[in-house]
Chain A
Amino acid sequence: MMRAAYRSATVRALGSVLSLFVAGAAAAQPVTLQAPGTFDALQDRQERSRALFVEAGKVLQSPRCLNCHPKGDRPTQGADMHPHEPWVVRGADGHGASGLQCTTCHQAANFGPSNVPGHPTWHLAPASMAWQQQSLGQICVQLKDRRRNGGKTLAQIQEHMAHDALVGWGWSPGGDRAPAPGTQEQLGALVQAWIDSGAACPAP
């Protein structure tokens, strides 16, 4: 059957590229997130607030998030965050260059036969929200800065982290991609606790 021939050829192409990554992913344990209550032992409110953000930072600085929060105009991909292949750019609005939009390859859902991830609103975060090559403290300051966070209040930031569907893709990346740590619900709880404790930022 030709379909079998296509599948086996695709698998061969994928296998030679991904075999090392698959082996690595199979060996890695999923990363968990601690619940906000774990940090109640920290008496100092600011210290507790910073610790909550550091815990949430395990998600913010995971490849699933950083790959689409690049410093320049080109996203990265993979656990090792290498430059996206093929070369693609953010374009005018984060959806890609004219004629080569993200949707040329990325569809509404992860697609197994090609191992290309997907989501209905696949696009890059704005340049003001570049997180790569930023410390967690710098990311924290950017998140709170309404000039750089899309005009969001802290409550809206929490809503975005806890419920945005593209953010949520990070926990269902498909293929051989490791999900972000914990769950989106756990991230939402950590961010809420961080806000409730004064939204303190780690040192830059």
Chain B
Amino acid sequence: MPISLNVNGAVRQVDADPDTPLLWVVREDLGLTGTKYGCGIAQCGACTVHLDGAPLRSCSAPVSAAAGRKLTTIEGLSSRAAKAVQKAWVELDVVQCGYCQSGQIMQATALLERNARPSDRDIDQAMAGNICRCATYHRIRAAIHAASKQLSA
């Protein structure tokens, strides 16, 4: 079934069953492979995208949920908060294997767009659903604080 999606600011047409997990459509039909499959059961956060600016685990939503709404993937992040997050991630050398990091960056960006000065508790609560097997958590936390400082400057 043809579905029209607004993806990273551009209108894209896909032909998919409306119940197809959004993650599969993003990766296969749209070719946007920055968003990762980690578990398929909303336990790891690697599949995080933004829908109308709110974080969404794309493995756990049908593509029909994105119809008529603004979908943003890691490839399309462009907000002031997103740029601060990306800069901090690079400066603090957060990434090890990188697999979880698209989801981490999407989630951290969503947090800072809602709360530009998060406490450690705020970071705990917002990032709890994003798992990192390389255990870069301390660097993720430091980078969120660094991005927050930049946003407040």
| Chain A residues near B (Cβ < 8 Å) | 2-3, 6, 9-10, 13-14, 17, 85-89, 91, 97-101, 103-108, 111-116
Number of A-B contacts (CB under 8 A): 103
Q: Is the interface of A mostly helix, strand, loop or mixed?
A: mixed
Whether the Cβ atoms of B41 and A100 lie closer than 8 Å is no
Whether the Cβ atoms of A97 and B125 lie closer than 8 Å is yes
Whether the Cβ atoms of B122 and A98 lie closer than 8 Å is yes
Closest residue of chain A to B131 (Cβ to Cβ) is A86
List B residues 110-153 near A (Cβ within 8 Å): 110-111, 114-115, 122, 124-129, 131
Asked if B60 is at the interface of the complex by the 8 Å CB criterion, the answer is yes
Count of residues in B whose CB is under 8 Å from the partner chain: 37
Which of A17, A86, A107 is close to B129, meaning CB atoms less than 8 Å apart? Answer: A86
Which of B5-13, B49-57, B89-97 is the contact stretch?
Answer: B49-57
Closest residue of chain A to B21 (Cβ to Cβ) is A113
Whether the Cβ atoms of B43 and A99 lie closer than 8 Å is no
- What is the distance, in angstroms, from A70's C-beta to the closest C-beta of chain B? 15
List B residues 28-79 near A (Cβ within 8 Å): 28, 37, 39-43, 45, 48, 54-57, 59-62, 65
Which of A6, A85, A103, A105 is close to B37, meaning CB atoms less than 8 Å apart? Answer: A6
Q: Do A104 and B115 contact each other (CB < 8 Å), given the known contacts A10-B40, A113-B40, A114-B21? A: no
- The complex places the Cα of A25 from the Cα of B87 at a distance, in Å, of 49
Apart from the given pairs A98-B122, A99-B55, A104-B57, 16 other A-B contacts in the complex at a CB distance below 8 Å: A2-B28, A10-B41, A86-B128, A88-B125, A88-B129, A98-B114, A99-B110, A100-B55, A105-B42, A105-B60, A106-B60, A107-B62, A113-B19, A113-B60, A116-B41, A116-B42
